[in-house]
Amino acid sequence: MKKKVLITGISGQDGSYLSEYLLKNNYEVYGIIRRNSIVEHQRNRIEKLDKQINLEYGDLLDTSSLDRIFKSVKPDEIYNLAAQSHVRISFEIPHFTLQTNGLGVLNMLEAFRAHSPNSKFYQASSSEMFGRSVDNDNCQRETTPFEPTSPYGCAKVLAFNLVKHYRFAYSLFCSNGILFNHESPRRGSNFVTNKVVKTAVQIKLGLKDKLILGNMDSYRDWGHSKDYVVAMNKILNHNQPDDFVISTGITRSVRDLCNYVFTKLDLEMKKYIFQDKKYMRPEELKYLKGDSSKARKLLNWKPQISFEELIDEMIDHWMDIFSSN
């Protein structure tokens, strides 16, 4: 019999790659989507999977919908990827972010415990939880203390702790993947990688004349979403529930990212990039570099796609879109 999987956030970047990966691996895929007044584009990333996946309307804040879906699907594996995922915007909507990314996870855990306690539960935890905290060797790992620097990070710490607590209190199989930044052509274009690549391609094609950014001196450890969804599945198929850092171990600044993209497109970066306070955060997470040795050893996972391959794929994606218009 096929294993059943329930994915929240299925229409997002990770949800769409994870669905494709699980379908290839013979899972039956169920996903929760939220009602949205604009129907167009909401399901872009999963459109081509339409006939192979089962979608249910629900919401992390609507416990009755979670009860109904858990009872009817009875999933073997649950991937909780739904969230208000934009860190800067979390400063503007802190209450909603805390509810969805914190209490929403509690709602999911309660539905899991009540209706499907023999399933396995994956929580999308985040490197944003580390905030100001870096170990002496300039890395973050599973043992690094959390010192979040945003409402988003605070909510993710709450959720992380709830998952661990449910694991110990109720002997449930629930695990955290502490994923560092992961990108792809499917990334929303208000995240820095896709914003830089999309705008630089538009500049190259004469469709725009500037790129306006916030802090260019923060460092991130960027991987490919396609590699990271494989790690999620390995985390749930490990012999025991646990928490794992998933990262490349290579860090670059936003300036390095811009430099790579603009050089690739043969554009002189300083002519086109401007900074605006509007894109700065009240407190910035300055530096991320993940040590994923634990996942590499215990899960036999490692990233396959390099930073250069990732960005080149994103450049090709936007070139195809804008050149054919």
Q: Are 87 and 128 in contact (CB under 8 A)?
A: yes
Residue 220 interacts with ligand F7E (CB under 6 A)? yes
Site string for ligand F7E, 88-117 (x = CB under 6 A): x-----------------------------
Is 110 designated active site? no
The nearer residue to ligand F7E, 63 or 218, going by C-beta atoms, is 218
What pairs with residue 274 in β-bridges?
212
124-153: which residues touch ligand F7E (CB under 6 A)?
126-128
Pairwise CA distance, residues 163 & 125, whole Å: 10
Closest by CA position to 87, among listed 286, 248, 292, 237: 286
Is 128 designated active site? yes
Catalytic: which of 20, 28, 77, 128? 128
The tokens describing 301, both together, are 């996972």
Task: Report, in Å, the least distance between residue 98 CB and ligand F7E.
Answer: 14
The tokens describing 233, both together, are 């599945």
Task: Report, in Å, the least distance between residue 280 CB and ligand F7E.
Answer: 7
Pairwise CA distance, residues 82 & 47, whole Å: 18
The nearer residue to ligand F7E, 69 or 129, going by C-beta atoms, is 129
Residue 221 interacts with ligand F7E (CB under 6 A)? no
Task: Report, in Å, the least distance between residue 305 CB and ligand F7E.
Answer: 17
The nearer residue to ligand F7E, 114 or 280, going by C-beta atoms, is 280
What pairs with residue 86 in β-bridges?
none
The nearer residue to ligand F7E, 97 or 107, going by C-beta atoms, is 97
Q: Which long-range contacts (CB under 8 A, 24 or more apart) does 309-314 make?
A: 309/224, 310/183, 310/184, 310/222, 310/223, 310/224, 311/193, 311/197, 311/257, 311/260, 311/261, 311/264, 312/264, 313/184, 313/185, 314/183, 314/184, 314/185, 314/187, 314/193, 314/194, 314/197
Answer for which of 87, 201, 231, 311 binds ligand F7E (CB under 6 A) is: 87
Pairwise CA distance, residues 160 & 177, whole Å: 9
Task: Report, in Å, the least distance between residue 87 CB and ligand F7E.
Answer: 3
Binding residues (CB under 6 A) for ligand F7E: these are: 85, 87-88, 126-128, 180-181, 190-192, 195, 213-215, 218, 220, 254, 279, 281, 284
Active site residues: 126, 128, 152
